[in-house]
Amino acid sequence: MDMNERQREVLAAVVELYTKTAQPVGSEALLERHHFPVSSATLRNDMLALEGEGLLYQPHTSAGRIPTDAGYRFYVEEMMGDKPLSKRDQEKLQEEFLKLQAKHARTVRTTARLLSALSGNLGVSGVVGKDEMYDFGMKSLMENPEFREMDELCRLVETLDTLDEKIDVLMAGLKDGETRIYIGEENPVAGIENCAMVVSPYRDPAGERGILAIIGPKRMEYAKNKSLIEHMKKLLSSSLVVILITYV
């Protein structure tokens, strides 16, 4: 796509600001939050150019702009980069995992609950061989402004309520060790086109194949959620899980 460096920075700023506020982003907000060394008129021209490229759109006349699915995809592929969990966050995740695992015999259930708590989205965890899947965080997901429309809410709830029946759909095409991000209509599960999903398969120490996923609005924190999935995979693939299950 034909963008200069400032326009790339503008796109990233719009994605990051919209992620935090859920409000369309205007040029004045960009100047206030990101201190671009240009005028608001120049930023409006940049946003108009990005709209022309199909990366931003204006939901209402005279409103700011929000990212399109293509805008999110460009951000994820070209600009996001990796954001590994800090050592402190890794220790916190492992500590919480230990606490929850001590209370619940089902590792799959514990994992879904923890993914939801740390991401603020819907956490999903399943074991393929046992055809077992749990999800937590439906309430958190429903509280996002994207799902205030009753028709959209009902359709989303109906789809996610039968997510356990779609484990094969989630696993289709995924390779061991791969973490994939689906945005909007890319989602393999029909009915969640207004969501994004970070999903990855893993194998536990016994060789059993499982799956982890975080489902949220398209303005989710992609880098953070990808890191959560990656680190949770490491926990579940280590001998720590075997030890925990032995003592529960």
Residue 187 pLDDT > 80, yes or no? yes
Per-residue pLDDT, 151: 79
Q: CA–CA distance from 59 to each of 46, 66, 220, 228 (Å)?
A: 17, 8, 19, 31
If asked whether residues 99 and 179 sit together in one domain, one would say yes
Dihedral sign, Cα of residue 152, residue 155, residue 160, residue 163: negative
Top pLDDT among 37 and 176 is at 37
- For the question of whether the overall pTM of this predicted structure is more than 0.75, the answer is yes
CATH code for the domain of 37: 1.10.10.10
Q: 10 Å Cβ neighbour count for 201?
A: 21
Per-residue pLDDT, 175: 85
Provide the domain limits for residue 194: 87-247
Residue keyed to tokens 């490229």: 53
Number of domains in the chain: 2
Per-residue pLDDT, 95: 84
Cα separation, 93 vs 229, whole angstroms: 11
Cα dihedral 75→90→164→160 (10° resolution): -50
If asked whether residues 40 and 98 sit together in one domain, one would say no
Under 8 Å CB-to-CB from 133, ≥6 apart: which residues? 108, 124, 125, 126, 127, 163, 164, 167, 211
Per-residue pLDDT, 1: 65
Q: Minimal CA–CA distance to 24: which of 78, 73, 75, 65?
A: 65
Residue 199 pLDDT > 90, yes or no? yes
Give me the mean pLDDT over the 26-55 stretch: 92
What pLDDT band is residue 3 in, cutting at 50, 70 and 90?
A: confident
Per-residue pLDDT, 216: 93
pLDDT tens column, 123-180: 999 988 888 889 999 988 888 888 888 777 888 888 888 888 888 888 888 888 889 9
If asked whether residues 145 and 186 sit together in one domain, one would say yes
If asked whether residues 69 and 187 sit together in one domain, one would say no
Under 8 Å CB-to-CB from 129, ≥6 apart: which residues? 208, 209
Residue keyed to tokens 């499982």: 210
Q: Minimal CA–CA distance to 109: which of 100, 99, 118, 96?
A: 100
Picking from 57, 79, 101, the residue at the C-terminal end of a domain is 79
Q: What is the pLDDT of the chain when averaged over all its residues?
A: 86
Query: Residue 197 forms beta bridges with which residues?
Result: 182, 215
CATH code for the domain of 118: 3.30.450.40
What pLDDT band is residue 243 in, cutting at 50, 70 and 90?
A: very low
